[in-house]
Amino acid sequence: MLKALLCGAAVFPGLFCSFRTILKLRQWSEKDAVVISERLVSSIHATLATAAGITVVASCRDVMTDSHWLVNWFIFFGAPYMAYDIFAMYLCHYHTQRVRGVSPAGSGHSLQSVRAFLIKDWMLVLHHAALLVVFMPVALFLRRGLGDFFIGCMFTTEFSTPFLCIGQILIQLGLDNTKLLKVNGIILLLSFFTCRILLFPFMYWMYGRQFGIPLHRVPFHLPLQCNLGNLAILSPQIYWFILLLRKANRLYLRQRRRGDEDKPKTK
């Protein structure tokens, strides 16, 4: 497992630096190079996590006792990504603020810039930190080898991330008024709702199916900490989904206004 940990620690920062260097050689600005590199690495991690999750879920007949070596391996492999991504998100925030003129052009990194980042993106930082200090120890040491199926399901929550990143890259490139962005937005909303929200009743249903328990009775057959843990993971997903819906609505209204302005005026 140490090899998986070291591999993850080398792969994700290495990919980020490689993408950033390539984009800068192509005369991209520092901000664009950093932001797009972070999105690309996030997409790669999400694709690997989804593939690992599908593999585990498909191989587990018994949702409690069946195990798969990929679960623990990918947890170790993905752990460095969470630490790396916090730093990458900070770099995105820092360079974006400089371009907007919020930070003086000659100013460097400081406690003030770090504080501003933590205030702005506190939920994402908390999410990443919780995965490292809570989810990882629980998944590795406190499950007693049970529930690999459910850990695999958690991996598949990353399925929507590439579509989120694609949308952000398209907006970064100024392609925010294209059909490609609209199609990607629809796929993002559907995949996010399915893999990050409907996934939880699906897991409860699979547990009930395994033991012959009706879906509405499953929470009463689980330890309190399991229900609270699921609620803690589900709550931010619902919050982020609402934000996505609001953003989609804003984009729709903006494009509708543009369409109305472009129509020829009749007397």
Instruction: Report how far residue 37's alpha carbon sits from residue 23's, in angstroms, rounded to the nearest whole number.
Output: 8
Contact 200, 230 (CB under 8 A): yes
pLDDT score recorded for residue 265:
54
Please, where are the H alpha helices in the chain? 2-25, 30-59, 69-100, 111-120, 122-130, 136-137, 148-155, 161-172, 179-196, 199-211, 224-262
Residue-wise pLDDT tens digits, 142-169: 888 899 999 999 999 999 999 999 998 9
* Rounded average pLDDT over 223-245: 93
Handedness of CA 85, 87, 90, 92 (dihedral sign): negative
3 state DSSP class of 47 = helix
Q: Label residue 99 by pLDDT band (50, 70, 90).
A: confident
Cα→Cα distances 116→22, 35, 58, 202, Å: 29, 17, 43, 38
pLDDT score recorded for residue 175:
83
Of 189, 130, 126, 191, nearest in space to 156 by CA: 191
Cα→Cα distances 74→4, 58, 155, 213, 240, Å: 7, 16, 9, 31, 25
Instruction: Report how far residue 111's alpha carbon sits from residue 53's, in angstroms, rounded to the nearest whole number.
Output: 38
Residue 186 Rama label (left phi>0; alpha psi -120 to 50; beta): alpha
Residue-wise pLDDT tens digits, 16-61: 999 999 999 988 999 999 999 999 999 999 999 999 999 999 999 9
pLDDT score recorded for residue 267:
45
pLDDT score recorded for residue 59:
95
pLDDT score recorded for residue 118:
93
Looking up tokens 């007397």 gives 267
Q: Label residue 1 by pLDDT band (50, 70, 90).
A: confident
Of 164, 167, 182, nearest in space to 240 by CA: 164
Residue 120 has pLDDT above 80, yes or no: yes
The encoded tokens of residue 45 equal 């991690």
DSSP 8-state code for residue 64? T
The encoded tokens of residue 195 equal 């893999």
Mean pLDDT of the residues in the chain:
90
Contacts of 229-232 with C-beta under 8 Å, sequence gap 24+, read 229/138, 230/200, 230/203, 232/130
Q: What share of the chain in percent tops pLDDT 90?
A: 69
The encoded tokens of residue 27 equal 């005369």
Q: Taking CA 53 as the corner, what is the angle to CA 166 and CA 2, rounded to the nearest 5 degrees?
A: 100
Residue-wise pLDDT tens digits, 184-213: 999 999 999 999 999 999 999 999 999 999
Greater model confidence, 118 or 106: 118
Of 21, 48, 14, 50, nearest in space to 36 by CA: 21
